Amino acid sequence: MKLASNTYKAWIDTPLGIAALVLLTAIVAYLVAANQMMLALSVAAAPLGVAFVLAVLGNPYFGFYALFFYTFIMFMPGRLLRADLPIGIGAEFLTVLVLMSALLRKKVQQQKIEGFLRQPVSIMLIIYSAYLLIEFFNPNMRSMAGLVFYYRKVLAFLLVYYIAYLLLDDLQKIVRFFKFWLIMSVLAGLYACKQQWFDFFPFEMRWLMSDPHKVRLYYQGGMFRKMSFLSDPAASGILLGYTAVIALVLSQFKPFAAYKRKLYFATIALLLGAIYSGTRTSYIVFAIGVVIYILMNFQRKRTLIFTGVSIFALAFILFGPINNAPINRVRTLMNGTNDASLKVRDENRELIRPYMLSHPMGGGLATNGVEGERFNPGHELAGFPTDSGYLKFALEAGWIGLVILCLLYFVMMQQCIHHYYQARNPTIKALYCAMAAALFAQIVAHYGQIAIGQMPGILFFFAIMAIIGRLKQFDDPSIAWEVEE
């Protein structure tokens, strides 16, 4: 912010700067008089935009957190204006801007690229990216526009991975990043609670009721599913579910004992938000994360007590004297294989299995589902309802791509668990355990739904990839982040 402030002050104090401001004011006044409010707001916001760009270039950490903040709230303007805004481009532009800012810093330029490339996760990401480039030659794909769309997203995620590796270069910064993520996620959970307890805002209800298909998707089980200020109930529920795992796991380790009450409050707020989303996958995400924590720490007396309390809480939710729509939605998990939607997904999977087996490189990127209808209309996979993230990737990138993706996830988990048991610093040990529980929960949930890929969760996922390799570099038991702060 200092760079932006100094630059603006030096520029405005000149006659040219004063004349430009007067001209800008006159243009805005004319547009308002002509009833061009959107254009007037855009012109008026231009100086703020320039200041923001200068601030990001002057401080990459500001830009890094601004990127995550933007992806949390970027869906709200579209609901307020009831317009389909190009919000994804803003995230990609900001990502590139942060990378430029990071590369301009002398400290970052001194970091060795060799260490980054030797990380096991980096090696797997390079293999994964190389395979996606080979998909360019897939003869089953019909649209260059679809390729550009897909590659643009993947490149942005890879840049987030590299940026996180560059900027989160000590333990204090990594802990601060987790704090920021927890705060933003808790705000999302509390906003979902507000939507449940006090209903949607009028502009949200107008946005929701404007599309009959959206109404059918959101109104299930006698309640409207809550999406908070995120993209949709599914993305909201899954994000809140695995973040609740992170908060709960951290609360069980001594380095975070001073924050135990805040972490418990965060867990409750996140869980309520996940329940109100009506996304059954989010309940599975939380349960799996808790189980992984228990398995990784079963030798501790604290874990045995935690296990007993968790079983009692689960039994009360499933069989307790509570009768309301959100809890009844949770109890539908007991239907198991008798669930109608699960049967439909299994039938679709069996229907498309021959295609997947006969196309080792898949049908091509951006050929399945809604993206397929947009970029590859008429393709065999266009519009096919996959639901499963693994099935979608297998259909587009083939079973070869699916094997590479599973190996990437395996390496992430292996590194997390290995470094957890090797870690000497208790703070690092706690973070590895929290990441392992949250990552495994997402990886499993990706089978039944596209649990990895929605904003802002996908950015957090790639940032976690970078942190897995970074944390072990600071494993000194004599260093505690609480002392540094």
CA distance 57 to 50: 11
DSSP state of 220: E
* Number of other CB atoms surrounding residue 174 within 10 Å: 23
Who has greater pLDDT, 350 or 202?
202
CA distance 138 to 396: 10
| 346: confidence class by pLDDT, cuts 50, 70, 90 | confident
Average pLDDT over every residue of 418-445: 95
User: Which of 41-55, 72-86, 219-233, 457-471 is the least confident region?
Assistant: 41-55
Who has greater pLDDT, 298 or 159?
159
* pLDDT (0 to 100) of residue 88: 87
Q: Is pLDDT of 326 > 90? A: no
Considering 155-164, 213-222, 279-288, 476-485, the range whose residues carry the highest mean pLDDT is 155-164
pLDDT in tens, 103-154: 887 555 555 676 788 899 999 999 999 999 999 999 888 778 888 899 999 9
* pLDDT (0 to 100) of residue 386: 81
Who has greater pLDDT, 313 or 482?
313
Q: Is pLDDT of 317 > 50? A: yes
pLDDT in tens, 174-217: 999 999 999 999 999 999 999 999 999 999 999 999 888 889 88
Q: Is 201 left (phi over 0), alpha (psi -120 to 50) or beta?
A: beta
Percent of the chain with pLDDT over 90: 55
Q: Is pLDDT of 331 > 90? A: no
* pLDDT (0 to 100) of residue 1: 46
Average pLDDT over every residue of 351-374: 90
* pLDDT (0 to 100) of residue 337: 54
Whether 239 contacts 188, CB under 8 Å: yes
* pLDDT (0 to 100) of residue 111: 57
* pLDDT (0 to 100) of residue 324: 76
Who has greater pLDDT, 377 or 14?
377
Average pLDDT over every residue of 409-425: 96
User: Which of 52-56, 70-74, 344-348, 454-458 is the least confident region?
Assistant: 344-348
Mean residue pLDDT of the chain comes to: 86
| 76: confidence class by pLDDT, cuts 50, 70, 90 | very high
Residue 69 contacts by C-beta under 8 Å, 6 or more apart in sequence?
Answer: 184
Q: How many residues does the chain have?
A: 485
Phi, psi of 320 (to 5 degrees): -70, 165
Handedness of CA 209, 210, 215, 218 (dihedral sign): negative
Q: Is residue 297 classed as helix, strand or coil in its secondary structure?
A: coil
Q: Is pLDDT of 74 > 50? A: yes
Who has greater pLDDT, 246 or 58?
246
Average pLDDT over every residue of 254-278: 95
* pLDDT (0 to 100) of residue 40: 64
Q: Is pLDDT of 294 > 60? A: yes
- In 19-98, which ranges are E strands? none
Q: Is pLDDT of 28 > 60? A: yes
- Using omega within 30 degrees of 0 as the cis cutoff, is the peptide bond preceding 354 cis? no
Q: Is pLDDT of 239 > 70? A: yes
CA distance 121 to 410: 10
* pLDDT (0 to 100) of residue 484: 36
Q: Is residue 252 classed as helix, strand or coil in its secondary structure?
A: coil
| 26: confidence class by pLDDT, cuts 50, 70, 90 | confident
Residue 377 contacts by C-beta under 8 Å, 6 or more apart in sequence?
Answer: none
* pLDDT (0 to 100) of residue 164: 95
* pLDDT (0 to 100) of residue 343: 73
* Number of other CB atoms surrounding residue 308 within 10 Å: 10
* pLDDT (0 to 100) of residue 483: 37
CA distance 354 to 375: 23
From the number of C-beta atoms within 10 Å of its C-beta (0-12, 13-18, 19+), residue 309 rates as: exposed
Residue 462 contacts by C-beta under 8 Å, 6 or more apart in sequence?
Answer: 157, 158, 160, 161, 164
CA angle 320, 440, 246 (to 5 degrees): 65
Q: What is the 3-state secondary structure (H, E, C) of 77-125?
A: HHHHHCCCCCHHHHHHHHHHHHHHHHHHCHHHHCCCHHHHHCCHHHHHH
**Alpha helix positions (H), 168-279:** 171-198, 202-209, 212-218, 233-250, 260-276
* pLDDT (0 to 100) of residue 350: 86
Q: Is pLDDT of 319 > 60? A: yes
* pLDDT (0 to 100) of residue 4: 46
Average pLDDT over every residue of 299-322: 77
Tokens found for residue 381: 């996979």
